[in-house]
Amino acid sequence: MRADSGVSTTRARAGAALRSLRPRGWDGPIAVVVTVLIAYAVAHVAWRQTGFGKPDALTVALSVAATSMMAWRRTFPLIAVTVCTTAIVIITARGNDVTDALPFVACALLLSLAYHRAPRFSAAGLGVAVVGFTIVVLCHPPGLGRDNVGWTFGIIGASYLTGRLLRDRRAMLVARAETAEQRAAAEADRVALLVSAEKLRIARELHDILSHTVSVIAVQATVGDHLAQTDPAAARRSLGIIGATSRGALGELRRLLAVLRDEGNPDPEATVPAHTLADVEQLIRRVEDSGLTVRFRTEGIPRALSSAAEVCAYRILQEALTNVIRHARDATAEVVLAYQPDALVLTVTDDGDGKTVAPPRAGHGITGMRERTTLFGGTFAAAPRAGGGFQVRAELPDGEPQ
């Protein structure tokens, strides 16, 4: 089995090597046409009128070898230039005519070399061509005067420079295309990141809305059930609180669901429900309606923060108070908003039994509050107090999320 595999690998490598030797595209047919035409011209040159010797079989063979290199102008361009130039030198040194077309074949091969290969290889090909045609000039072939010498080396230099310019232009176009692709990919990544951040933000919003609403409804439903027989008026108040709380939650959920349906808007600031610190007092009234006593005060000079920071602070307060409702229903909560010169410090303290714990899954409860605070580069702490109860403290620097 291994022997068969080794034979197959060897055959595959041999096949690949043979394929690499084949001419590319139309190079083979073009080489055949050019070879036939130039071989005919060399064989039938009027050598007596030109002053050259009569062409023999070797001259025709060398001409065929020179022009056949057109088939490998892209596969082995440096070898093609070297073989063609060497053939021209030998033909001229033997006193035979290469016709006017064969030097143009060498120039075409030099141009192809400069276009398809790195500068060090094309410079080597230019050196081969210059040395070869210098030898041709030194052989003093008939009809090659001073004017023709300058023209010959001018064509060689122009061929080389044309190939280099075409190569540089191709590299420039490729670089532009790659840059455009990178920009498109970067923009796609940016949009994907925005969408991902918005999804996470919406998930947090859903958790905060549902957690707070369900907690209030659960408390009021329990209260209403206990008071249904003994105090119908209080039971109806509980039902009213449940209705008001659920309607407010439904309004926020509609806004979030509208965001989910609008996939073309990845801007988080434009889609998050616009709660601000001005809504804190209304939040506290709803919490107090659920039966929790809340003391609220501000320290420092109140000021407007960024919309993202105010949303973050509101949600942290909402989640902290919701935790008090869940875990310390009969406690008293104290909410403090302290405006410092470069930050907002919010504290929620209760005098319950201090048993509030972080939930096991990230993105919920205390973990969610910590993530919101970290998003702004702030600090967060949540722990039982030494004298009883539980405290949540978040410090939010002024500015936008990091």
pTM of the model: 0.50
Q: Of the candidates 92, 116, 144, which is a domain's last residue?
A: 144
The CA-CA-CA angle for residues 211, 217, 222, to 5°, reads 125
Specify the range with the lowest mean pLDDT, choosing from 51-60, 334-343, 387-396. Answer: 51-60
pLDDT beyond 50 at 189: yes
Q: What is the CATH number of the domain that holds 350?
A: 3.30.565.10
Model confidence at 361, pLDDT cuts 50, 70, 90, reads: very low
Pinpoint the alpha helices (H) of 262-364. 268-271, 280-289, 307-327
Mean pLDDT over the full length of the chain: 79
What's the total number of domains in the chain?
2
Asked if 143 and 52 touch (Cβ cutoff 8 Å), the reply is no
Q: Assess if residue 169 is contained within a domain.
A: no
Please check whether residue 266 lies inside any domain of the structure: no
> Which of 17-31, 77-91, 324-338, 369-383 has the highest mean predicted lDDT (pLDDT)?
77-91
**Average of pLDDT values for 128-140?**
90
Confidence of residue 298 (pLDDT cuts 50, 70, 90): very high
Which of these three, 102, 118, 144, is where a domain ends? 144
What is the pLDDT, as a whole number, of residue 362?
38
Could you tell me if residue 133 is inside a domain? yes
Three-class secondary structure of residue 332 per DSSP? strand
Residue 67 has pLDDT above 70, yes or no: yes
- Identify whether 213 is part of a domain: no
10-14, 93-97, 326-330: the lowest-pLDDT one = 10-14
Give the residue numbers spanning the domain of 398.
287-402
pLDDT band at 87 (very low <50, low <70, confident <90, very high): very high
Under the banding of pLDDT at 50, 70 and 90, the label for residue 256 is low
CA distance 31 to 39: 12
Residue 114 lies in a domain: yes
Q: Is residue 273 part of a domain?
A: no
Residue 39 placed within a domain: yes
Asked which of 119, 144, 169 is the last residue of a domain, the reply is: 144
Q: Is 35 exposed, middle or buried (0-12, 13-18, 19+ CB in 10 A)?
A: buried
Q: Is residue 243 part of a domain?
A: no
Residue 360 in this model has a pLDDT that exceeds 80? no
